[in-house]
Amino acid sequence: MEDVLLIVVIATALFFDFTNGFHDTANAVATSVSTRALTPRQAVTVAALANLAGAFVTTAVAKTVGQGIIDTGLATQQTILAALLGAIAWNLFTWYLGLPSSSSHALFGGLIGAALVQSGSKGVEWDGLVEKVVIPGIASPILGFIGAFVLLLVLYWVFVWITPGAGNRLFRYGQMLSGTWFAFTHGANDAQKTMGVIALALFAHGSLDEFEIPTWVKIAAGLAIAAGTYVGGWRIMRTLGQRVFKMEPVDGFAAQVSAGTVLYAATHFGFPVSTTQCISGAVMGAGATKRFSAVRWGVAGNIVFAWVLTIPAAAIVAGALYWPLEAVF
């Protein structure tokens, strides 16, 4: 039964990775599509390939997710399966509503909720959670906002001589690069979260003597997020691409460069941050350069509400699922 449960956990983790891909496709391509730099199909194809490449950059984030959120010595496969199902349920719910909530926060909430029900407060690595998840999670959208705001002001100053038409053409080409950059860093940070969960399951099963990320896990996670990215999430793309504020190519370029840079830095230091928060913060920062009223703060407020709700909602679902799964397996 333990072997069967391991297979179920791995399959569920890869399905979560797939839903992460289609849920977060909008983050990588919405700005490129909304500014007409790329067609939807072109943007999704580029994003899928870049996500796949990004999955092989490093394993620092995977080790944080696998070892830094819940106690590896107490975690069981039932804990991990409940966490994944809670995260998937919230992902699908927010995808259906078109809300760009965080797949990462859904996973963190699921892990926390399942671990609390299984082992109580000692099942959660609270210090690691605050240091490597909470603080970077708060900082990342703020840095994305500031980065896009400053970069856009610099671009306006440098290209003050260029006509609007020529500027749009230039930055549509620029968005081909910036969109690829953001998708690459998205894959680097997000695919590793699934790698960490699968490695944790293998460790709990006894298949790994020490916590490490096998090569086949990297390949499987990379392919799953790339496939999900290719399927795409058009509901969320509309919210992020146009409803927050009306974007021009230079806005999309600045937002993608800023968010991608924040993600790359987070990945380097092993911080599993939310790609949704990074790009949403950057989009708001780009909009704020026009005037603060250019950002539709009501829509932005709905996005923030979904962020705040994600961790407790996924935790509640995962916690509720733990005992039934324990009884079955």
For residue 184 the two structure tokens come to: 């690459």
- Residue 206's pLDDT is 85
- Residue 94's pLDDT is 78
User: Which alpha helices (H) appear in the chain, and where do they start and end?
Assistant: 2-34, 40-54, 60-67, 77-97, 103-119, 126-129, 135-158, 164-205, 215-231, 234-238, 249-269, 275-288, 297-328
More confident site: 85 or 175: 85
Pair 30, 237: CB distance under 8 Å: yes
Global pTM?
A: 0.86
- Residue 244's pLDDT is 46
- Residue 95's pLDDT is 74
pLDDT tops 70 at residue 243: no
SS3 for 59?
coil
Tens of pLDDT along 264-316? 999 999 999 988 788 888 988 988 887 766 666 666 676 677 677 889 999 99
* C-alpha closest to that of 52 among 267, 219, 233: 219
pLDDT interval class at 242 (50, 70, 90): very low
- Residue 179's pLDDT is 86
- Residue 232, by phi and psi: left (phi above 0), alpha (psi -120 to 50) or beta? left
- Residue 27's pLDDT is 60
Tens of pLDDT along 89-118? 987 887 777 666 788 889 999 999 999 999
Tell me 200's DSSP state: H
For residue 181 the two structure tokens come to: 């950059």
CA angle 230, 234, 237 (to 5 degrees): 105
Tens of pLDDT along 173-183? 888 889 889 98
Sign of CA dihedral 280, 195, 128, 54: negative
pLDDT tops 90 at residue 8: yes
Pair 270, 64: CB distance under 8 Å: yes
pLDDT interval class at 232 (50, 70, 90): low
For residue 222 the two structure tokens come to: 């990379």
Q: How far apart are CA 179 and CA 29, in angstroms?
A: 6
* C-alpha closest to that of 275 among 213, 172, 188: 188
Q: How far apart are CA 33 and CA 236, in angstroms?
A: 12
- Residue 302's pLDDT is 66
For residue 48 the two structure tokens come to: 């899928």
Lowest mean pLDDT among 16-20, 94-98, 196-200, 319-323: 94-98
For residue 60 the two structure tokens come to: 């620092």
- Residue 26's pLDDT is 59
